[in-house]
Amino acid sequence: MSSLPVPKRPFVHRKHGRARPDPYHWLRDRDDPSVIEHLKKENAHSQTWLKDNGGDDLKETLAKDMLHRIVEDDSTPPLPNGAYRYYTRTERNQPYPIHCRRKDAPDAPEEIILNVNALAEGQDYIRIYQRSVSRDHRHLAWLQDDDGSEHFRLRVKDLSTGEMLDYEVADTKWTLTWAADSRTIFYARADAAKRPYQIWRHDIHSPPEDDVLVFEELNERYFVSASTSSDWQRIFVTSASKISSEIHFLHADRPEQPPQMLWPRQENVEAYATFAGDRYLIRTNLGAQTFRILTVPAQTPQATPTEWLAADPDITLTGMAAFNDHLVVGMRADGNEQFQVFRRADNATHRIEFPDPSYMLGAAGNYEYDTENFFFSYSSPRQPNTVYQYNMETRERVLLHENPVGGEFDKDNFIIERVMVVASDGEAIPLTITRRRDVVQDGNRPVLMFGYGSYGSTYDAYFSNLKLPLLDRGVIVCIAHIRGGGEMGRRWYDHGKKEHKMNTFTDFIACAEHLVASGWTRPERLAISGASAGGLLMGAVTNMRPDLFNAVVAQVPFVDVVSTMLDDSLPLTVTEYDEWGDPNDVAVFERMMSYSPYDNVTAQAYPAMLITAGLNDPRVSYWEPAKWAARLRERSISGAPVLLKIHLGAGHGGKSGRYGIIEDYSWIFAFVLKQLGVE
């Protein structure tokens, strides 16, 4: 576009005898003032497009609709944790949560333990991670990100006085867990590539310079983490790549002792541990693609493990929650997460059932070990998030809380369908379709379809207040549960990575074609959306079938695949070899080149594109979407808009706070509705 001149400074990538000219390589230099100026022009261009096309008013209307659908004053249910019950609430006109507790007694007063709104004063961005209370309930620790870069500050508050401790631990990374003594914290530090590679021990009564290095991982494929078992008996230090893991342990009441080996690493073998009274429980895919559970006696942790729960080829085990008398095992069967409850005394078992054909399920605040109650959350595209207390012995299910929905809402006005779409190789792909009950198959319905399909991550169907304004306007909202994700178990993941990656893209295209062929929509009324690796999906399928879509939303998209995977100085690159392959191998290089979105932009009629990025994003560098937008704009012959919207003060997740999220999505959905002709 003439309004956005992009200098073309000569640069050529060379690898395996192939030269790849990259005229937009200069955008990588964020210290160059012309780069920031260019990004600001991109934002201005996007804003001008929205205004000139009548989207400003629609955006404001959508934002009001979204806010109207949220009950701003709400609270999670108070869940038991020792002498207290902990909960989180929100207040009108406050963007961030307020974390609270009460003594577990009638009429006990509320104690605010962390008001994130107060922490955020004077800041444009804040996110809190790994919030954790010490075993004696006196101290609260958390990791704080102030700009989206995921460089965290470890902060600690004395809840008995309400005062912050007079120091911070800078440059921490993701992990935070307490020892049983209520004064020792284990945390992680990152290397130059932002990989968590060290576990440190910190005494809250000593300065950070006295902290002790506990564990170091030098293999660049592996990330380290630490966690405490729910019975406060063990601390686990895990070092894991995408496909292998190693586990060490410490006694939680002896945190000064060095870690001991529990599970040595083996290539292509994953293992995840917890502790339950007299034994270690290890969930592993050793000899079992769908995972099994082994046990090791507490007194002889180096003993040969014995099998406790055998693998089932149709069920993938996804997690464990240990209690004094029970074990809850998370598993994926028939495309949905499920919970299986085992009584440890005799292995008597039952499954917790759920009504919708597609849904999202998760554990919720299970702080206590010696209890018969298991807390979980459940939602579906028509069911607002609910939290239940479930008695594992009596099987009684008690509804504790259902997220309220503002305005008129009746879940029976919406229909969820899950259909199986035949892919190009004959595989059956689940497709979740959510619509208002009065929406009919007339071949002309507006559709927004989402997808991801990487890392074995699941894209489960959940309730979203933000999507209600779409459904209210007759838009059909779909999720394609494509290979590369974990929706249908471990095989689903394995058949959508590395040499099988093309399945991810052809599965998504098959789902889009099904929506057209089955009479729901036509390409002119079909929009698609994906984020991060889902943005890679958007780029690949748009290069392959630009005629199939009217509008594409790619949030923080991983689109310059080959250049990024050849640059091992970037965060995450080496660890990603297990997902995508190592392009230093010529065969892998050619495979990546066949689908890398940036490298495959050609002179064809592309649909309208909205691309987002974050200047501080440590996962997908901002220059990938910036370069891709420039190349699309240069080569597309359709005349459809190519818009880049970049957050100059945020990272991978966009703006922080619930109002920031509403602002982001009102923009995105205004773009989609304008392109689909929905007012």
The alpha helices in 462-574, defined as continuous H runs, are 468-472, 490-494, 502-517, 533-544, 561-565
pLDDT of residue 679: 79
Catalytic residue positions, numbered: 532, 617, 652
* pLDDT tens by residue, 31-84: 999 999 999 999 999 999 999 999 999 999 999 999 999 999 999 999 999 999
For tokens 């902060």, what's the residue?
A: 155
Percent of the chain with pLDDT over 90: 95
Rounded CA-CA distance 146/27 in Å is 24
For residue 210, give every residue at least 6 positions away whose Cβ sits within 8 Å of its Cβ, in sequence order, or none. Answer: 203
pLDDT of residue 338: 96
Looking at residue 227, the DSSP 8-state letter turns out to be E
* pLDDT tens by residue, 425-446: 999 999 999 999 999 999 999 9
* pLDDT tens by residue, 534-583: 999 999 999 999 999 999 999 999 999 999 999 988 877 889 999 999 99
Is it the case that residue 2 has pLDDT exceeding 60?
Answer: no
7 band by pLDDT with thresholds 50, 70 and 90:
low
Strand partners for 428: 422
* pLDDT tens by residue, 342-399: 999 999 999 999 999 999 999 999 999 999 999 999 999 999 999 999 999 999 999 9
pLDDT of residue 402: 97
Q: Share the mean pLDDT of the chain.
A: 96
- Strands of 306-446, DSSP E: 306-309, 316-322, 326-333, 336-343, 349-352, 360-363, 373-380, 383-391, 397-402, 414-422, 428-436
pLDDT of residue 277: 84
pLDDT of residue 1: 42
* Nearest to 187, CA basis, from 143, 223, 122: 143
pLDDT of residue 10: 79
Segment 136-154 mean pLDDT: 96
Segment 478-506 mean pLDDT: 97
**CB-based contact 570:564 (threshold 8 Å):** yes
pLDDT of residue 375: 98
Segment 494-520 mean pLDDT: 98
Measured between its terminal Cα atoms, the distance across the chain in Å is: 27
* pLDDT tens by residue, 590-636: 999 999 999 999 999 999 999 999 999 999 999 999 999 999 999 99
* pLDDT tens by residue, 184-217: 999 999 998 889 999 999 999 999 999 999 999 9
Segment 405-425 mean pLDDT: 96
Provide the token pair at 146: 């102030």
* pLDDT tens by residue, 282-339: 999 999 999 999 999 999 999 999 999 999 999 999 999 999 999 999 999 999 999 9
- The sign one gets for the Cα dihedral 495, 569, 270, 277 is negative
Is it the case that residue 407 has pLDDT exceeding 80?
Answer: yes
472 band by pLDDT with thresholds 50, 70 and 90:
very high
Looking at residue 445, the DSSP 8-state letter turns out to be -
Q: What is the pTM (predicted TM-score) of this model?
A: 0.96
State CA 541 to chain mean position distance: 22
Rounded CA-CA distance 320/312 in Å is 16
